[in-house]
Amino acid sequence: MATWNIDPTHSEIQFKVKHLVISTVTGYFRSFNGTVETEGDSFEDANITFEAEIDSVDTNNSDRDTHLKSDDFFNASEFPTMKFESTSFKNTGGDQYELKGNMTIRDITKEITLDVTHGGTVDDPYGQTKAGFEINGTINRKEFNLKWNAVTEAGNVVVGDDVKLHMNVQVVESVPQEA
């Protein structure tokens, strides 16, 4: 079995949500980790785990970030991490995969499905084997108890329900230490 670890310096975890229905707010989780465990040379049926620290949320606006960390949204003090554990990782043709797994935000766990593109696997100049993946999907924030909402005087919703997830992830194969 091979274990691959997310390289945080070459990865980004991003989300996008509609604001006032007319524009999109982009945010990031700056502190995260994850592993991919594979059998043989294929990523097919890999076991994938991921965790992000809620306190690391960054939307380029400190007031909004503080609001996102509050009980209106993530409640970072009570639920400091968001977690994902795969249940299946299937090749759907070429470099395309379907990733299913259980996402936990706050105290709610739901199965989600993500689309994955394997960008390739290479050996870097330092002898490390690295693989790149682009991961996309959409979740409904209200299904995870991120319920805060407001409506403008004109009747427009302030925050959309659908949250687009976009992750560019590079993983590094862990080399077993010799005894």
42-84, pLDDT tens digit by residue?
898 999 999 999 999 998 889 888 988 988 888 999 999 999 9
Q: With contact defined as beta carbons under 8 Å apart, do 133 and 169 qualify?
A: yes
Instruction: Please check whether residue 41 lies inside any domain of the structure.
Output: yes
- Asked if the model's pLDDT at residue 19 lies above 70, the reply is no
Instruction: Return d(Cα 171, Cα 37) in angstroms, integer.
Output: 11
Q: Which of 117-121, 126-130, 132-136, 141-145 has the lowest mean pLDDT?
A: 141-145
- pTM here is 0.86
- Asked if the model's pLDDT at residue 20 lies above 80, the reply is no
The structure tokens listed for 124 are 């870097």
CATH code for the domain of 86: 2.40.128.110
Instruction: Please check whether residue 178 lies inside any domain of the structure.
Output: no
Q: Which long-range contacts (CB under 8 A, 24 or more apart) does 143-147 make?
A: 143/108, 143/110, 144/103, 144/105, 144/106, 144/108, 144/110, 145/105, 145/106, 145/107, 145/108, 146/73, 146/74, 146/105, 146/106, 147/72
Domain tally, the chain: 1
Q: What is the pLDDT of residues 28-37, one digit of tens each?
A: 999 999 999 9
